[in-house]
């Protein structure tokens, strides 16, 4: 999943600070922008099985680790999103 995100619109400044790849709505890099929905389609094609949208989000890093819901996130892929 991290390699998929690196190939898309993720700039160098978006992973240097914390080591987490951060995708957003900005125009950085090549190719179509990264969304959780596109990551989901990529994983479904790779593993040939249905993967829900929520599972795709929960495999990534929580946006705010201090909140109580952050326990549900697995953090297997060092990927997150930032909104404006």
d(CA 54, CA 36): 9
Residues in the chain: 84
Sequence-separated (6 or more) residues with CB below 8 Å from residue 68: none
d(CA 60, CA 76): 6
pLDDT digits 0-9 by tens, 43-83: 999 999 999 999 999 999 888 888 888 888 998 888 888 76
The pTM (predicted TM-score) of the whole model is: 0.80
d(CA 49, CA 16): 33
């Amino acid at each position: 999943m991290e390699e998929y995100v690196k190939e898309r619109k993720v700039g160098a400044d978006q992973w240097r600070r914390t080591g987490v790849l951060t995708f957003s709505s900005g125009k950085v890099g090549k190719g179509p922008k990264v969304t959780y929905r596109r990551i989901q389609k990529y994983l479904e094609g790779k593993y040939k099985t249905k993967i829900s949208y929520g599972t795709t989000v929960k495999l990534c890093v929580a946006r705010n680790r201090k909140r109580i819901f952050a326990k549900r996130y697995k953090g297997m892929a060092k990927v997150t999103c930032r909104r404006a």
